[in-house]
Amino acid sequence: LTLKADLKRALSQNELELYFQPKVDLTDLSVVSAECLLRWNHPLDGVLFPGPLIEAAESYNMMNELGYWTLEQAFRSLVELDAKGIPISLSVNISPTQLYDNQLIGSLTLLSKSYNMPMQRIELELTEDVALSNSLMVKKQLDELRQLGVAISVDDFGKGYSNLAYIRDLDITALKIDKTFVMELADNAVNRAIIEAANIIGKAKGCSVIAEGIETLAQLHILREVGIKQGQGYLFSKAVPLNKFTQLAQQDI
C-alpha cells in the first residue's frame, strides 16, 4: 500500500529519472547507443534501483502510466542528444503489460509526432518470455512496430524459457545475451559455447548480437575472439544521468 503511494508521488513529484548505460562497439570501444534505465530519486534514501517501483506499477495497474513516462523521457532525451550533436538511438525496456494493453503503438506514434522524432530512433527491449503467452497478439503488435521502423531487441537472451522457435519467427533487430553467460565466461566453456551459438543465430537472422554485463578485460577479450560486435557493462560504464552520458558520448564523436 505504501509503495502505491510512493509510486504516485514519484510520478507526480518528478522523483523519477532516466539514466543511460552506453552500448559500445567492442572493437574500438566507442559509444554507439544507450539503454535507458529508470532510477528513483527517493527524497530520503537517495538514488534507488527501479525494481520495487516497477513491481508496484505492475500490481497496481499503473505500468502503462509508468511506461508512458519512460517513453516520453526517452523522446525528450533524443531531442537533447540531437541538440548536442549526438544522433544515436535509445533503447527502452518494455514490460509485457505494455504489449498486452495495446497502447504502445498509439503512444509511440503520438510521442514521435509531438517531439518530431522518428520512431526509428527508439528500440524496445523485451524479455524473452514476453511472447510466450498470447503469442499471436504479441506477434501482430511486434510486426506492426517493426513496420513503423521501431527496433525490437530480445533482452536477457538465453535466460527465460529460451524459446528458439519464437526467436526464429519474430522479426527482431538484436539479441542481448544475458549477463549470467558473460559473468562466468572465463572459466566456463559452456558459457562460451552458448555465446558462440547466439552469435551464429544472430548472424543467420540478420540481427545484431550484444553482450551484457561485461565487467572485466578477460571477458572483453573472449567476446572479441568469439566475434561479438557490441557490448554493455560496468567495464565501460554503469547507467549515468543524461549530462554525464552526453560527456561520455561526445568523447567519441
With respect to Na ion, which residue has the nearer C-beta, 40 or 157?
A: 157
With respect to ligand G, which residue has the nearer C-beta, 57 or 204?
A: 57
With H, G, I as helix, E, B as strand and everything else as coil, classify residue 44.
coil
Applying CB under 6 A, the span of 4-12, 91-99, 105-113, 192-200 interacting with ligand G comes to: 91-99
Phi and psi angles of residue 163, each rounded to the nearest 5 degrees, phi first: -80, 95
Spatial distance between the Cα atoms of 65 and 101, rounded to a whole number of angstroms: 11
With respect to ligand G, which residue has the nearer C-beta, 161 or 234?
A: 234
List the interface residues with ligand G, window 211-230 (CB under 6 A): 212-215
CB of 155 to ligand G, least distance (A): 5
CB of 170 to Mn ion, least distance (A): 17
Cβ density class 54-74: b for 16+ within 10 Å, e for less: bebbeebebbbebbbbbbbbb
Among 17, 65, 156, 252, binds Mn ion (CB under 5 A): 156
Rule CB under 6 A: say whether 70 interacts with ligand G. yes
CB 50 within 8 A of CB 37: yes
CB of 80 to ligand G, least distance (A): 18
Spatial distance between the Cα atoms of 182 and 203, rounded to a whole number of angstroms: 19
CB 153 within 8 A of CB 167: no
CB 52 within 8 A of CB 45: no
Residue with the CB atom nearest ligand G in the bound state = 233
Rule CB under 6 A: say whether 37 interacts with ligand G. yes
Q: Which residues bind ligand G (CB under 6 A)?
A: 21, 37-38, 49-51, 54, 70, 93-95, 155-156, 179, 212-215, 232-234, 239
